[in-house]
Amino acid sequence: MADTKETFSDKLLGFTLPGRSARGRLVRMEGVLEDVLSAHDYPPPITHLLGEALVLGALIGGLLKGETAQMTMQAQTKGGIVNLLVCDYRAGAVRGYADFDAERLASLGANPSLAALFGEGFLAITFETEGRQRYQGIVPLEGSSLAEACELYFSQSEQIPTLIRVASRAGANGRMAAGLLLQHLADGEEGRERLHVRMDHPDWEHVAIMAGSISHDELLDPALSLEAIAWRLFHEEEEVRVLGGDRLSRGCRCSAEHYATIIARFPPEEQEAMRNEEGVVVVDCAFCSRLFELTV
């Protein structure tokens, strides 16, 4: 493993296993997690769910290259307790929001299942490259967690063997969430089988077993650096190459100027209909829970 300053929290760590054609991402969130979740008074089940989504957003979004490349993840259903869960990632900036039925949620108890929260929901993951190209995959919201649903996305939509592990907890010292993503990459495309559609490739089976041994306590141990986790899991490999990654921050990009630009695109009669009795257009940003009063 190359020498690098150790990474503990609120920064993404990338790594590759060149001898196994695999790549990975590790992340642990503390301060940035509190920043995002503090925008709303979420009950514990939603705090846990959104925390998991933010970790997944960082792990998946961290695969993109470029300052303007963005990943957006949405989980929603018709008639479910959680109407919408959305988060996105762009160059280390993360944000997320959940809309839910508080009365119905209260009837489920402390640890509702994913199926109880979403019913027959779906997960949509949208990537926008730095060149403004967009592509999206949609899969059923199945499994016991959002992490399992994301594994299904990569298997079905991208045909990339992927393992994801996420852990979170809330205690006297605040909230913490962490995760690991590992993928097997294509060895070649022309004239032979695409290796990344082989879920039983021996290299992938080996690294998946190693990565699958990670415990929640290891992911959440504040004294254990992300580099140390990668080394613990793959110390028998010939090389573990650390790539570093983005520093994380709350990334709500709302501003009065931004909303004024959007509203200006509407016809004058529609702009007029948006105004309140004082002639002001009030925009409520769900991500950061701020009100913007515009006089456009």
DSSP labels for 235-280? Answer: TTSS--EEEE-PBPEE-----HHHHHHHHTTS-HHHHHHH--TTS-
In the predicted model, is pLDDT for residue 69 greater than 80? yes
If one compares 272 and 206, the residue with the highest pLDDT of the two is: 206
Query: Where are any strands of DSSP class E within the chain?
Result: 11-17, 22-29, 70-76, 82-90, 93-100, 122-128, 134-140, 162-171, 174-184, 241-244, 249-250, 281-285, 290-294
Of 154, 177, 145, nearest in space to 75 by CA? 145
Q: What pLDDT, in 10s, does the model give residues 182-208?
A: 999 865 433 334 444 556 788 999 999
Q: CB–CB of 79/138 below 8 Å?
A: no
- Identify the residue with better confidence: 194 or 285: 285
pLDDT band at 59 (very low <50, low <70, confident <90, very high): very high
Stated pTM of the model: 0.86
pLDDT in tens, 129-153: 887 789 999 999 988 999 999 999 9
Say how far apart CA 24 and CA 204 lie, in whole Å.
12
Task: Please give the CATH superfamily to which domain 11-250 belongs.
Answer: Hsp33 domain (3.55.30.10)
Report the amino acid identity of residue 280. V
Question: Greater confidence, 267 or 177?
Answer: 177
Between helices 202-212 and 226-234, what is the axis angle to 10°? 130
pLDDT at 283 over 80: no
261 or 196, higher pLDDT: 261
Q: What pLDDT, on a 0 to 100 scale, did the predictor assign at position 97?
A: 93
Expressed in percent and rounded to 5, the helix, strand and coil fractions of the chain are 30, 30, 40
What is the DSSP pairing of strand 122-128 with strand 134-140? Answer: antiparallel
Q: Which residue has the higher pLDDT, 46 or 261?
A: 46
When pLDDT is cut at 50, 70 and 90, the band that residue 172 belongs to is confident
Q: Domain residue spans in the chain?
A: 11-250, 256-294
